[in-house]
Structure 1
Amino acid sequence: MSNVPWWGLPLIAALFALAGAAAVQFMSARNDHLLSRRRRTKRWYEERKTAYVALLAVFERDFFRLRAAFDAGEKPVPALVYMDEVGPALMQVRLLASGPVRSAALAVHVLLQKLHGEMNPAAVIGVQPEIHFRELLTQVPLVMQQFEASIREELGIETAPPVSPNGRVRSITAPGWTRRDRAGSDS
C-alpha cells in the first residue's frame, strides 16, 4: 500500500487544473495584447499614409495647375482657393505627422503659397517677377522630393527591392528567380 492519503490525488489534479487554467488565461491575454498592438500599429500606419497621400495629391494637382497657368500666360488661381483645397489635408498632416514630415510639408505649402500670391517686383531686387515665379516653380519638385523622403523615412518604406537570403534580388514574375538566373539558365 502507498503512503499517499486519499485526498492527495484529487488535490494534485486540482492544482494542475488551476495551473493549466492560469496558463490558458495568460496566453489568451498575451495574444489579445499582441493583436491589439498589431491593430494599433496598422491603424497608425494607414492613417498617416492616407493623410500623406491626400496632401501629396493636393500639392501635385496645384503644382500642375500653376505650371499650366504659367505656360498659358494666365494668372494662377487666388491664394484663398488654394487654401480651401489644401487646408483639410494639411491640417490632418499637421496633427498626425512627426516633426520632420510636418516641417517638409509646411516647406512645400509655403512655397506654393508664395506662388499663389502676387509677385511683387520690389520683393527681389533686380529680378523680374516672371523670372522669380519660374525659379520658384522649379523649386517645387525639389521640395516635394524632400517631403516624400521624410514620409518614406517615417513610415519605413524601402525603395530598394527585397533581397533573398542568398543575396539575389527576387523577381516579381517568378518567385525565387531573377532575370539573371533565367538568362544564365538559357545559355
Structure 2
Amino acid sequence: MRVSQIPWWGLPLVAVVFALAGALAAHLVFARNSELLNRTIRDRRWYDERKEAYTRLLAAFEHATHRLRVTFDAGEKPPTALNYVDQIGPALMPVRLLASGPVRSAALAVHLQLERLHGEMNPAGVVGVQPQTHFRELLAQVPLVMQQFEAAVRDELGIMDTPPKSQPSLNGSRRQLEN
C-alpha cells in the first residue's frame, strides 16, 4: 500500500490560495467596472451641465433680441444696459465658467453685440449715419453672431446635423427585407 507524499495541510493551503486569488480577481474586476461607471456618469454630467447652460444662454439671447426688436418696432426706447445685464448675467456666468475657449469667445461676442444695442446709440465719428439705421444694422448682425456661437456649441458637444446611420440587424432578417 502506497501512501501519498502530500502533507495533510497541502489541500487546505491550495484551497485558500485559490480562494484568495479568486477574491482578488473579483475585487479587481469590480474596481475596474466601478471606475468605468463613474467615468461614464462624470462624462454624462459634463455633457448635461454644458448643454443646459448653453441652452439657457441661447434662450436668454433670443429673448433679449426679441425684446429689442419689439421695442424698436413700437418706437419705444430699448431697455437699459443694466436691465440687460440683470437678465443675461445668470445665464452667462455658467457658460463663462464651464465652456471651452471658442464657445466662451462666441458667447461673449453675442453678449457684447447685445450690450452695445442696449446702450446709447451714438455713432460718433461716422458722418451721415442716423442712430436708427445704425441700431437696425447692429440688430441684423445679432443672428449671425449667434450662429457662430451655436456652431461652437455644436462642435464642443459633438452635435451632428445629420441623424446617425441605422445599424444592420444581427440576425440577417433585415438584410433579407432590404434586398
Summarize the alignment of residues 25-64 of structure 1 with structure 2, pairs less than 5 Å apart.
25-64=27-66
Structure 2 stretches lacking a partner, 5+ long: 169-173
TM-score, scaled to structure 1: 0.85
Quick one: structure 1 residues 123 and 42, their matched pair in 2 at CA, closer, same or farther if it must change by over 3 Å? Answer: farther
Task: Map 1:82-121; keep pairs closer than 5 Å.
Answer: 82-121=84-123
- Out of 120-129 and 35-44, give the one that drifted further: 120-129
Residue in 2 that maps onto 1:153: 155
Please report the RMSD computed on the Cα atoms of aligned residues, expressed in angstroms.
1.7
* Count of aligned positions: 169
Task: Tell me the alpha carbon deviations over residues 28-68 of structure 1, each in whole angstroms, 9 at most, x when there is no partner.
Answer: 11111111111111111111111111111110000001111
Structure number with greater CO (CA < 8 Å, separation at least 6) is: 2
Of 9, 20, 23, the match for 2:22: 20
> What is the percentage of aligned positions where both structures have the same residue?
66
Q: Which amino acid aligns with 2:71?
A: A
CA deviation digits over 1:148-184, x for unaligned, max 9? 1111111111111111246xxxxxxxxx7xxxx7xxx
Question: How far apart, in 2, do the equivalents of 1:123 and 1:76 lie?
Answer: 23
Secondary structure at the residue paired with 1:161?
coil
Shift of 1:7: 1.9
Q: Please point out which of 119, 143, 146 is paired with 2:145.
A: 143
Query: How far does the alpha carbon of each residue in 1:92-135 deviate from its partner, in whole angstroms, 9 at most, with x for none?
Result: 11011110000000000000011111111425333211111111
Aligned to 1:171: none
Q: Is residue 13 of structure 2 the alignment partner of residue 8 of structure 1?
A: no
Question: How far apart are the structure 2 equivalents of 1:137 and 1:125?
Answer: 20
Consecutive unaligned residues in structure 1, runs of 5 or more: 167-175
The alignment status of 1:127 with 2:129, answered yes or no, reads yes
| SS of 1:162 mapped into structure 2 | coil
